[in-house]
Structure 1
Amino acid sequence: MADSSSSSFWTQANALLRKNLTFQKRHVKTNVRLILFPFLLCVLLVVLQKLINNELDKSDNKCGCICKREEGGRCQEQVCGIQYSDLDQVSTCAIPNPPEWPPLLQVPAPQYRAVQSDIIPFSDLPDNSCRRTGSCPVTFLFTGHNQSFGESMFVFLCVFTYYLTYYCVNTVAGATIKIQGSESKTEYTNFLEPAFFSGLPIYYLQTQCPSNSTFSVPIQILTTNMQQEVRCAQGLHLWRSSSSEVNNELYKGYRRGNTERQINEIVAAYDFLNTNENRFNVNIWYNATYKNDSGFDSIALARIPRSVNLVSNSYLQFLQGPGTEMLFEFVKEMPKPETQVKLDVASLLGTLFFTWVVLQLFPVVLTSLVYEKQQRLRIMMKMHGLGDGPYWLISYGYFLSISVTYMLCFVIFGSVIGLKFFTLNDYSIQFVFYFIYINLQIALAFLVAAMFSNVKTATVIGYIGVFGSGLLGGFLFQFFVEDTSFPRGWIIVLELYPGFALYRGLYEFAQYSFTGDTLGTDGMRWGDLNDSTNGMKDVLIIMLVEWFLVIFVAYYIDKVLSSGSGKSPLFFLKRFQKKPKSSFRKPSIQRQDSKVFVQMEKPDVSQEREKVEQLLLEPTINHAIVCDNLKKVYPGRDGNPEKFAVRGLSLALPQGECFGMLGPNGAGKTSFINMMIGLTKPSSGTAFVQGLDITTNMDGIYTSMGVCPQHDLLWETLTGREHLLFYGRLKNLKGSALTQAVEESLKSVNLFHGGVADRQAGKYSGGMKRRLSVAISLIGDPRVVYMDEPSTGLDPASRNNLWKVIKQAKQNRAIILTTHSMEEAEVLCDRLGIFVDGSLQCIGNPKELKGRYGGSYVFTMTTSVDHENEVENLVHKLSPNSSKIYHISGTQKFELPKGDIRIADVFRAVDTAKRNFTVFAWGLADTTLEDVFIKVARGAQAFNTLS
């Protein structure tokens, strides 16, 4: 069973929170730089605002009086009011008496007027040859429920003008010509009608245009005198059978391409619906092709009134006769005071810049998550008992608190320095928008982190995403949003990408703040979200749904991949399966292929396997680890065969025992450890730790396990003491018990004195890091500890001190230790197992192994080269079964079976040899553990080669 003292959910959460806060304290400068970025950007926008406003506020842009003609240093002619002929000051100067403009129709340019084409197949339209001569008529369309009534209306509607008497004098004043039009774009207001300043002609419409129908007339606008060209345009009225037919023709004729032949524009269309002698009910289509670039449909303000007047007069004349007329002499703007010249730079540039500001948090969160993954810190925490629930709760809350603080500083900075982007829009809408998005961004970072294992790669991709999202939003997505002809459904599809959703929300804030600053009104309010042109509601709904969806998918993927071995994608179905009655199960050795394998094993290995079988049938709590036919096979790649890393290992390890694993590099020791600590899954077989199966219950095993990995897994900016405090809290240590355990651990590995304990781990030497890793594995009294080459890189004094710590620690726990040091294995391990090519070749305590595989003495003698034969003869006389194992330049080594000789005989023979020839050196040694290791390894490798 798992340790009953395992830490609770909130204990683990508290440990991780304290560690994160300590980690955050180490990065105060980084956080300050992060927060300063939006602050500096806001200051930059304010400085730009001031510079631009000062430039716009110069005298050239102000209303007032200037000297038009100067002689002798004195002004001879002074002009006051709007100063320049291009009327740039119209938007800022006081206009107490706005000019009167004749009401105009929006007339297509000659090259765009409707003609017969592939897209509009009506035969009553003129032939497209008229475009070459510029004589194409302007077309009006009519429809309704009653065709005869509509045709009778044509009679009155088609009387476009009276006689052209005194035309050149009276056209602009509007006294003679009843219907006039222009192909120029309109402005925001009617203070300036660009039809009279664009250089484009003013059209007057007639049923037939006479010859020499183009005039040039002088006009005066305020203080400006200019010549205006006036041309005749022939009006053509055409009946269509239904409104859908009209709508289809208008849609196909709208500007959709770059060539003239793709454009067929209609002046206007009228649907008389159910109009009759007693009812006037008309729908009007109008030409919006030339609306200004701002997106405001000011044509409806300036050009539509003439269409309405035209059809209204037609109906009156139909009822009352040609003498009846509804006068419409001019359109005129409301008077206005002088306004200051200014430009809201934050609203114009803020959408792109603020998108970058908010998205900057994404790579920060992403790299933090990938760093833990790259350094294997996440799995290290998991192996010491940190559950997925506390990890997600604290990590998510940690990043959320950082993001909220960042965004609050951002909005506060912008508001304090007076950016209209923040001050005009409702703060509650801003809070909801930013809060939902940063949650979506954090969830997205958790999801994307599963795809990366390298911090540098994640950082590069993260910042590419930041700048790419902003630039694509500003130079692609925004054009789709502003294009009213682009389908709204596709806009919503594009907003499914979180970067575009963020951009759209900021774009709406910018539009409302710019309009509010220009018109002196409020910015966005909650009621504005119901506006059909406002995309904020759609964005909020999309981001909210994506937030829950992404966080669910991210948690699921993390649950599957959170440990090295991972979980089954259908892990959530296990709760519906029946639980086994016992933690142990029948031994897997019963398979026929395993029986064949047993016959080739050494007796001690077979005995260990039989012990495991017995324990699985009659489990006891005395054995902390029981491995049952554990195998690991790596699949073949690039044409190479599959690799057997561990071949059917069976091992039983009781409490209080230190088991040492010896073997050459690549023998499978680390693969075995990785399976036991959950980094990889066994290919077959299993193991039980404290009665819990490693294939199904690693989360329970982690609560009573300690690990000292082969490579030190430490936070570079945390101190040794902070590491032990964190892992101690994970093991349910609290208060004085935690403090005492940490101090004892630091003292035991010689990291307590001299301020070493409070030095950042990144500044430790390799040996100090190794000692800290050992201390981490032992803190909290884990029942099972895995140490992978714990003394690597230590000096002799530190190594001896560490051995004392491990010796003391093994009294009440099971330890599995891998090492290449035979001395370490002999000092620390109660039993040893030698691993070669994934198989356990022998098992026993060091003395047994030396006795079993080392039943000989090693005799060494060094003489001159001339006496080598005499040495060989001497050894053969001592032991006929001796064998030479080493020979170089007079130095020879021989193995002498212990049963063939007595040590006294060897001394006596050497004394005799010294009288016959010179002996430089000689020695007789018993077999060492290293000799045993070499002998077993060579024998196993030779057997595997032959087989």
Structure 2
Amino acid sequence: MAESSYGPASFWTQADALLRKNLTFQKRNIKTNVRLISFPFFLCLLLLLIQVLVNSELNKPKYKCGCTCIDPNKTGTCQKVCGIQYSTLDQAASCAIPSPQEWPVLLQVPAPQYRAVRTDLIPFTDLPNDSCRLTGSCPATVLLTGSNRSLAENLAGNFFTGVVSLNSSDMLNSLADTLLGSSSVTDGDNFLEPAFFSDLPLYNIQPQCTQNSSFSVPIQILTNTVQQDVKCVQGLNLWRNSSSEINDELYKGYRKGNPERKINEIIAAYDFLDSNVNNFNVIIWYNSTYKNDTGNVPMGLVRVPRSVNVASNAFLQFLRGTGTKILFEFVKEMPKRESKLKLDFSSLLGALFFTWVILQLFPVILTSLVYEKQQRLRIMMKMHRLGDGPYWMISYFYFLSMSLIYMLCFVIFGSLIGKSESPELICSTFLSNPLVSNLDLSLLTGLKFFTSNDYSIQFVYFFVYINLQTSLAFLAASVFANIKTASVIGHICVFGSGLLGVALFQSFLQDTSFPRIWIVVLELFPGFSLYRVLYEFAYYAFTGDRMGTNGMRWKDLNDGTNGMIVVLIIMFVEWLLVLPVAYYFDQVVSAGSGVQKHPLFFLPKFQKKKLPSFRKPSMQRQGSKVFVQMEKPDVSQEAEKVEQLLLEHSTSHAILCDNVKKVYPAKDGNPEKFAVRGLSLALPRGECFGMLGPNGAGKTSFINMMIGLIKPTSGTALVQGLDIRTDMDKIYTNMGVCPQHDLLWESLTGREHLLFYGRLKNLKGSALTQAVEESLRNVNLFHGGVADKKAGKYSGGMKRRLSVAISLIGDPKVVYMDEPSTGLDPASRNNLWNVVKRAKKDRAIILTTHSMEEAEVLCDRLGIFVDGSLQCIGNPKQLKARYGGSYVFTITTSNQEEEVVEVMVRHISPNAAKIYHLSGTQKFELPKQEVKIADVFHAVEDAKSKFTIQAWGLADTTLEDVFIKVARGAQTFDELL
């Protein structure tokens, strides 16, 4: 195989060329890039402004610690005093609490409708009948087990022995000696016990309820008096033979995750194990159903201490008598300083909004990749020697770098806004608006999402994810061919992932009964794995802001409840798997990147196919018709020549086409379409071969097969000795293409296009500069600053000239030009012809055109292509001699003399054929063997004396006449069949 005079470009040379082109392209699109990077900045500002508005609302007197005016000396001048004692319940949350309220210790008692009763699921008959639920009289059950049943039942007999003794002066403390419970949901702190601020009653648990065991008491809380109902509930102790029976009963009656919703809840369960007089050993089951663990708030407190105290007192009373017990008078929260109510809005909504921000890169990368395929720019680069390896390496790291810059700006913007000093500066413009000018800037807490969590953790997770996201974009790009479809699907993935994350996935994360293994399965979807990361970052930032602690640190990854290690492993493994799968699909799925390869192309036995032997076509079937191929002698001779050259393994010819066929399958009820019907052609170096034919004849399909855009149905072609079916990557190193439609980057200039393709052809330094300038001069794009104008501002003719210059730069040995002079003015077309004629030296060129003049000037040989078949082949003179053995006589007279003219022509040539007739103008074909030119002149001069001849002419047959005659003949033959 002969190489270009510059030799094939190395891997790194190709990579350098593509990198330079991409950087130039980004420089041209700087405004778009600025808008993209500014998107997270404005989002952060939006979140900050919302946060300011919310915090301003929380800073109103309604939520500030209450104050009053006191005049202790009655001087008429009052002193403002603030404190929790002067506050409403809404205000109390912001007050200083140096001495928190003492609260009675409560049991978690199931609500009446959920207490344990007999059901079909539970085999025990010692539970009460479910009719008690109708009256609300079901007892509250405690389950017992252990190695010593008598001891366990003896201890259980001491559980519910509390006697109600109320002290009206200190009602709360007097309730501390009473065994009370509540079914209310707990909060994350105990400054205000929810049991006293709900409509639910307190439950007084007794062995038997008497008439006076239910009552109502006034409770003084801060400045408010609450009337609290206390209802008696019978405590029921039930023995079970083993802890496994208890586990089974608790599981079947648990509220969350119960498929049949037959809820049977208990107060607690005790396994006294090997307890005896000398040893007290107990395991306690507790009910967490009522624990508040929804949303991003800390989990509620669990009412377990009283359950432990009950068992401990029962054992002490068993040993020392009923008068002995451990006093458990109250519980109280830690003291707190006065605080302002504030809300880190970014942490609350960060998982959703920031998921959208990061995922927004996915459709950006996807559409960029699909754009290159849809516009055939990818295959154009490939046809000019850009290998898949450099393309993938540079494109991947190019988009990865874009993503890194985007993410760095995202984190930097959020962090700057999140610092305490920055919000006032950044929001000063927004706060100057009259609608928000009265907001207190001290309310700005910043975006703690970024500043609270360790930056190194954020970098690791974001870096791994953007690698995964870039790989996914390459994978998706391999199956899309339309940029609009890719954009729509990409944005659906963005918004769908965020909305499903917040509406579905987050609820699974917060539901402690949802199996963790299914969480891991859901995280296999990349959108959910990203949402999980951002959710955990937001949770740690919110908790840290509320509790005054740091956000996520490396040590927190050891906490199995946040799942961060598992998510990191999932994203990393998926990245390593998706990238090679994306490359595989890019090779085997043809969507604008070239001819698809065999699905097992990576195996040696499938990398090379044996070239089939020459088979002379005789019959071809299309639908129900049978076409008998009536080959002309010149076409048959060309096929025989190809057969001989293949047998001799000749390398003197740059192109050998062996019975190439292209059949498009049947579609939408239409029969299969034969675009190319067994074309055979031998093209030596130094020859320009012209393909002529009407629209739809199959010329472009043939060119597309030769340049690797489509794959032949059967047959093959050798280009520089390489098979177009298996060796296109090598063929590209010596090929130039001027496609039918200009494949250009509208943001790049003509010079930049040629520099890029010149580098791909291994041109460097001064040789590259000289080749580019020479190419620009040859196609008349050098002067007047045209070379440095963006290609998007070129006229159609200028784009065609640039496409021709691209096809010829770098000395390719085989060049395909599909209608190169379309849209050119006469001067530019003539200049282009000179360029092509000079380029023919030591180079094979296949050119398609509709201009007969162009074909005569440029082409050494011509082939007329009709309905997928080559009808004739030869140089222009041979074709005109073979198909044009006649003169064309044209004469224009009045309509009345038409018959007289026809009689005159028949006298000159009896076999003359009329080929045109319109309004007195007639054309006749005069066989050359029957007529002499002098006879025509004499006849016309003689006729002028008899009638008026307005115009006349005699011309030899043109190539256009030959083309029309051959095309019409072939089409007529097809119609007859």
Which residue identity lines up with residue 53 of structure 1 in the other structure? N
Q: CA deviation at 1:325?
A: 1.7
Q: CA deviation at 1:930?
A: 0.7
Corresponding position of 1:19: 21
Q: 1:805 to 1:277 in 2, by over 3 A?
A: same
Cα pair 2:912 2:927 within 8 Å, conserved: yes
Cα pair 1:2 1:701 within 8 Å, conserved: no
Corresponding position of 1:392: 392
SS at match of 2:209: coil
Q: CA deviation at 1:873?
A: 3.0
1:936 pairs with 2:938: no
Which residue identity lines up with residue 81 of structure 1 in the other structure? G
- Counterpart CA distance in 1 for 2:197 and 2:86 is 12
- Counterpart CA distance in 2 for 1:521 and 1:675 is 67
Corresponding position of 2:429: none
Corresponding position of 2:921: 891
Unaligned runs of 5+ in 2: 420-446, 621-625
1:849 paired residue among 875, 879, 883 = 879
SS at match of 1:236: strand
- Counterpart CA distance in 1 for 2:291 and 2:598 is 60
Corresponding position of 1:533: 561
Q: 1:854 to 1:178 in 2, by over 3 A?
A: same
Corresponding position of 2:715: 685
Q: 1:76 to 1:19 in 2, by over 3 A?
A: closer
Which residue identity lines up with residue 161 of structure 1 in the other structure? G
Cα deviation, 1:80-114, whole Å, max 9, x if unaligned, reads 42045653444433222222221110112222222
Cα pair 1:190 1:302 within 8 Å, conserved: no
1:139 pairs with 2:137: no
Which residue identity lines up with residue 355 of structure 1 in the other structure? T
Cα deviation, 1:457-513, whole Å, max 9, x if unaligned, reads 322222222222112211221111111111111111111111111111001011111
Cα pair 1:219 1:226 within 8 Å, conserved: yes
Q: CA deviation at 1:532?
A: 1.9
- Counterpart CA distance in 1 for 2:552 and 2:457 is 8
Cα pair 1:662 1:832 within 8 Å, conserved: yes
Q: 1:639 to 1:226 in 2, by over 3 A?
A: closer
Cα deviation, 1:333-356, whole Å, max 9, x if unaligned, reads 233333343222221121111111
Q: How does 1:402-413 map to 2 (within 5 A)?
A: 402-413=402-413
Q: CA deviation at 1:445?
A: 0.9
Q: CA deviation at 1:170?
A: 7.2
- Counterpart CA distance in 2 for 1:548 and 1:241 is 53
Cα pair 1:61 1:89 within 8 Å, conserved: yes
Q: 1:33 to 1:165 in 2, by over 3 A?
A: closer
Q: CA deviation at 1:252?
A: 2.5
Cα pair 1:411 1:422 within 8 Å, conserved: yes
Q: 1:128 to 1:260 in 2, by over 3 A?
A: farther
Cα deviation, 1:386-412, whole Å, max 9, x if unaligned, reads 111111101111101111011111111
Q: CA deviation at 1:618?
A: 1.4
- Counterpart CA distance in 1 for 2:128 and 2:15 is 80
Q: How does 1:269-668 map to 2 (within 5 A)?
A: 269-294=269-294, 301=301, 303-417=303-417, 418=419, 419-561=447-589, 563-574=593-604, 587-589=613-615, 600-668=630-698
Corresponding position of 2:426: none
User: Please, which moves more after superposition, 89-98 or 902-911?
Assistant: 89-98
Cα pair 2:205 2:234 within 8 Å, conserved: yes
Which residue identity lines up with residue 209 of structure 1 in the other structure? C
Q: CA deviation at 1:557?
A: 0.6
Cα deviation, 1:243-301, whole Å, max 9, x if unaligned, reads 22222222222224899973322111112223233332211111222212557999985
- Counterpart CA distance in 1 for 2:30 and 2:312 is 73
Cα pair 2:617 2:659 within 8 Å, conserved: no
1:924 pairs with 2:954: yes
1:839 paired residue among 849, 853, 869 = 869
Q: CA deviation at 1:725?
A: 0.7
Length-normalised TM-score, structure 1: 0.95
Which residue identity lines up with residue 41 of structure 2 in the other structure? F
Length-normalised TM-score, structure 2: 0.92
- Counterpart CA distance in 2 for 1:138 and 1:738 is 91
Q: 1:167 to 1:212 in 2, by over 3 A?
A: farther
User: Please, which moves more after superposition, 369-378 or 632-641?
Assistant: 632-641
Cα pair 1:268 1:285 within 8 Å, conserved: yes
Q: 1:198 to 1:866 in 2, by over 3 A?
A: closer
1:205 pairs with 2:205: yes
- Counterpart CA distance in 1 for 2:113 and 2:210 is 20
Cα deviation, 1:15-41, whole Å, max 9, x if unaligned, reads 100000000001111111111111122
SS at match of 1:45: helix
Cα pair 2:65 2:92 within 8 Å, conserved: no
Cα pair 1:205 1:232 within 8 Å, conserved: yes
Cα deviation, 1:778-801, whole Å, max 9, x if unaligned, reads 111111110111111111111111
1:127 paired residue among 126, 129, 134 = 129
- Counterpart CA distance in 1 for 2:195 and 2:136 is 20
Cα deviation, 1:120-172, whole Å, max 9, x if unaligned, reads 45322212222222211111111223333322322333x4224x455777763
Q: CA deviation at 1:323?
A: 3.4
1:823 pairs with 2:823: no
- Counterpart CA distance in 1 for 2:916 and 2:175 is 127
Which residue identity lines up with residue 207 of structure 2 in the other structure? T
User: Please, which moves more after superposition, 122-131 or 47-56?
Assistant: 47-56
Cα pair 1:105 1:181 within 8 Å, conserved: yes
Cα deviation, 1:426-465, whole Å, max 9, x if unaligned, reads 1111001000111111111111122322222322222222
- Counterpart CA distance in 1 for 2:300 and 2:413 is 40
1:863 paired residue among 885, 889, 893 = 893
Q: How does 1:29-68 map to 2 (within 5 A)?
A: 29-63=31-65, 65-67=67-69
Cα pair 2:214 2:231 within 8 Å, conserved: yes
Q: 1:822 to 1:579 in 2, by over 3 A?
A: closer
Which residue identity lines up with residue 671 of structure 2 in the other structure? P
Q: 1:454 to 1:590 in 2, by over 3 A?
A: closer
Q: 1:806 to 1:78 in 2, by over 3 A?
A: closer
1:675 pairs with 2:676: no
- Counterpart CA distance in 2 for 1:27 and 1:451 is 26
Corresponding position of 1:214: 214
Which residue identity lines up with residue 675 of structure 1 in the other structure? M
Q: CA deviation at 1:12?
A: 0.6
- Counterpart CA distance in 2 for 1:60 and 1:913 is 115
1:724 pairs with 2:754: yes
SS at match of 1:687: strand
- Counterpart CA distance in 1 for 2:918 and 2:618 is 50
Q: CA deviation at 1:593?
A: 5.8
Q: CA deviation at 1:870?
A: 3.2
Q: 1:9 to 1:71 in 2, by over 3 A?
A: same
Which residue identity lines up with residue 371 of structure 1 in the other structure? Y
User: Please, which moves more after superposition, 610-619 or 635-644?
Assistant: 635-644
Q: 1:750 to 1:590 in 2, by over 3 A?
A: closer
Which residue identity lines up with residue 589 of structure 1 in the other structure? R
Cα deviation, 1:339-395, whole Å, max 9, x if unaligned, reads 343222221121111111111111111111111111111111111111111111011
SS at match of 1:330: coil
User: Please, which moves more after superposition, 558-567 or 478-487?
Assistant: 558-567
Q: 1:110 to 1:856 in 2, by over 3 A?
A: same
Cα pair 2:464 2:572 within 8 Å, conserved: yes
Which residue identity lines up with residue 649 of structure 2 in the other structure? P
Corresponding position of 2:234: 234
User: Please, which moves more after superposition, 164-173 or 893-902?
Assistant: 164-173
What RMSD over aligned residues (CA atoms) do the two structures have, in Å?
A: 2.7
